[in-house]
Every structure is written in C-alpha cells, then in structure tokens.
C-alpha cells in the first residue's frame, strides 16, 4: 500500500466504491478507507431495487461485488476508521485509528449516515427479520401486513404515509411523547386512518421462527405485529468536516451540481449530502464526484471513460 494517492475516499459504501471504480479506470491512484461491514447497505438482508439483479440479493453481497469490481481496476481498500483529516498547502493528510498516515491530492467524502436506533430490547437481533429503518427499502415486504412505526416527528409521519402504498394497517407509536407532526401531515394521517398511540414500546418479541411477532409495552401489555419501522432519524458521520471548514446545508454537506464542496480539492457524495438514502442514488453521486475529480486532476473539461 502506497503513502500518496491522487484521491483518498472516505467511506466504503456505494458512493465511495463507485467513485473508486471511475477513478481507477482512468489510471488515477485511489484509496478507499472505511469499515464497509458497518454500513447501512451491508447490513441489509434483502435488496430488491438495485438495477441489474433479477433476484433479490443481500446488501453484503452487493457491497462485496462492488469492491471486487473496484479492485479489478486497481482501487485499494483499507478497512479502518479515519480519525483526522487536515489540509496543508495543496495536499490533504489523513490519519487512521491504527496510526496509518496518507497524503492525497484530493478527497471524496462519503461517510454516509447511520440510522438512529431505538435501543428497544431485541432490536439488533430482529433487524431484517421484521425490524427495519427504511420504508422505501423494505416497505414492499409488508404488503397487506400489520405494521408498527416508531417515532414522534415529521419523519415518522412521512414514513407512515409512504407505507400506505403497501398496507393500510399502520400504527404509529410515539413512545410516550406527543406527536410533533405538521398540520398538513397530521391531516393526512387522520384521513387515511393511521392510528397514533403513545404507549412506550420496551421490547420486540421474537416468535418461534426467529421473526418479530409482538411489541411489548411498558405496562406489560403486548400486541401482535408483522413488522416495525424505526423512524427516529439519522446520525451524521461528518464530525471531521468542520475541521476542514466545509459549508453545511442543515446537517448535510453543501455541494454543487458536480458534488464539489466549498473547499478546493474536496468533493462529497451519498447520504452525507442529503440525497435519498438509496444505494443507486449514492452510486450516482459517487460517479458524479469521481468524474469531477478526474477533470480536476487531469486539467480537462471533457471526461472520456475509454481514454
């Protein structure tokens, strides 16, 4: 493994890996640093909406195949965590949690966002077995099923309304809080017969088959559900971004149409720029960022993959 690269990519999800494929194909040296097995896509048990697969695949399979493809073109991968990124002159200096240090001409930031967990008993054990965090990703698997949704803010209301595409039997649990839905969303919730309950969920009860069967409440009561979506938001992985003085839009990195940030030599892609949390969208962002980096390094206005 070298010490200097044309581009270091922070994050090994679909955005970062796609960027590495494009960079490596144009003979630019690139290193992807990230713990991809901790990513949202890698943890997905079933992915049925990524183009190119006639059958469902696991997120782990999809990520592993992407990495194999990137390595075929010469991209390098390091399964470690970045603890510091600094700019000195025209170069960037990156340090990892095992004290490895690298120098790079450019950076592409693809740290993603982790879903906030509820910390309800058996939550981790039932992920992909009835417990989910993304209606767009997994709502399809709950057609005409009885589904619970945990959350008290607009995100939860929006997810519940999206679930109506698949089922009408939906209950929102605010876990003891008053719902903080906008007036417009509340009207839609009421109009569509979505139930709202304040009971506090303390356990996801696993059935004999290893899948979610009941929600258990603080008062000891329980209710049978086929699925439960956690809609508590996401946590940002952009702590080091402020160190570089990058502009934000709300909690997202602010970028232009080419995924370039306000700092020369730095691009960002995927969930961290506020894109829809979908693998195919993140991959597209990674492609856009990589093409912009290629033009930047090679000093060209036109990108040709077959050069």
Domain ranges in the chain are 4-115+234-298, 124-230
Beta bridge mates, 201: 217
Nearest 10 degrees: Cα torsion 278, 280, 282, 288: -150
Position 307 scores a pLDDT of 45
Q: What is the mean pLDDT of residues 118-140?
A: 92
Output the six-digit token pair for 28: 């630019």
Output the six-digit token pair for 291: 């093409």
For the segment 143-182, what is each residue's pLDDT rounded down to a tens digit? 999 999 999 999 899 999 999 999 999 999 999 999 999 9
Distances (CA, A) of 269 to 18, 135, 213, 307: 10, 22, 38, 24
Q: What is the mean pLDDT of residues 58-62?
A: 94
What is the overall mean pLDDT for the chain?
A: 92
pLDDT band at 304 (very low <50, low <70, confident <90, very high): low
Q: What is the mean pLDDT of residues 36-65?
A: 91
Q: DSSP 3-state assignment of 105?
A: strand
Taking alpha carbons only, the member of 262, 270, 257 closest to residue 246 is: 262
Top-confidence range, 89-98, 111-120, 283-292? 283-292
Position 299 scores a pLDDT of 86
The pLDDT of residue 53 is above 70:
yes
Query: Domain 124-230: which CATH class?
Result: alpha beta
Output the six-digit token pair for 15: 């955005």
151-164 CB burial, b ≥16 within 10 A, e <16? bbbbbbbbbbbebb
Q: DSSP 3-state assignment of 116?
A: coil
Element of type H or E holding 195: strand 195-197
147 or 276: whose pLDDT is higher?
147
Position 1 scores a pLDDT of 66
What DSSP character marks residue 289?
Answer: H
In CATH, the architecture of 4-115+234-298 is 3-Layer(bba) Sandwich (3.50)
Position 302 scores a pLDDT of 63
Q: What percent of the chain has pLDDT over 90?
A: 75
The pLDDT of residue 214 is above 90:
yes
Taking alpha carbons only, the member of 284, 259, 262, 269 closest to residue 238 is: 269
pTM, two decimals, is 0.77
DSSP labels, 120-173: -BTTGGGBTTTEES-HHHHGGGGTT--EEEE-SSHHHHHHHHHHTTT-S-EEEE
Position 149 scores a pLDDT of 97
Q: What is the Cα gyration radius of the chain?
A: 21
Residue pair 278/136 in contact (Cβ under 8 Å)? The answer is yes
Output the six-digit token pair for 150: 């945990």
| 4-115+234-298 and 124-230, same CATH topology | yes
């Amino acid at each position: 493994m070298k010490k200097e690269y044309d581009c270091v990519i922070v994050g090994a999800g679909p955005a970062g890996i796609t960027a590495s494929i494009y960079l490596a194909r144009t003979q630019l040296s690139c290193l992807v640093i990230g713990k991809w097995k901790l990513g949202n896509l890698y943890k997905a048990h079933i992915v049925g909406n990524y183009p190119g697969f006639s059958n469902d695949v696991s997120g782990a399979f999809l990520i592993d195949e992407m990495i194999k493809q990137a390595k075929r073109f010469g991209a390098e991968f390091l399964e470690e965590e970045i603890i510091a990124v600094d700019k000195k002159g025209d170069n960037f200096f990156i340090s990892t949690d095992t004290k490895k240090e690298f120098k790079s001409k450019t950076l592409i930031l693809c740290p993603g966002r982790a879903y906030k967990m509820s910390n309800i008993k058996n939550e981790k054990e039932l992920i992909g077995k009835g417990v989910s965090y993304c209606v767009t990703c997994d709502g399809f698997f709950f057609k005409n099923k009885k589904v619970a949704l945990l959350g008290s803010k607009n995100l939860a209301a929006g997810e519940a309304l999206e679930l109506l595409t698949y089922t009408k039997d939906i209950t929102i649990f605010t876990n003891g809080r008053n719902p903080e839905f906008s007036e417009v969303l509340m009207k839609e919730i009421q109009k569509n017969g979505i139930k709202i309950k304040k009971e506090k969920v303390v356990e996801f009860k696993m059935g004999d088959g290893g899948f979610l069967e009941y929600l258990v409440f603080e008062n000891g009561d329980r209710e049978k559900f086929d699925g439960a979506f956690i809609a508590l938001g996401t946590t940002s992985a952009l702590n080091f971004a402020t160190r570089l003085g990058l502009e934000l839009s709300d909690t997202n990195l602010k970028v232009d149409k080419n995924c370039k940030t306000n700092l020369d030599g730095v691009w960002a892609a995927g969930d961290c720029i506020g894109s829809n949390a979908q693998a195919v969208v993140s991959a597209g962002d990674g492609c856009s960022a990589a093409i912009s980096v290629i033009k930047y390094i090679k000093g060209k206005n036109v990108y040709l993959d077959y050069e």
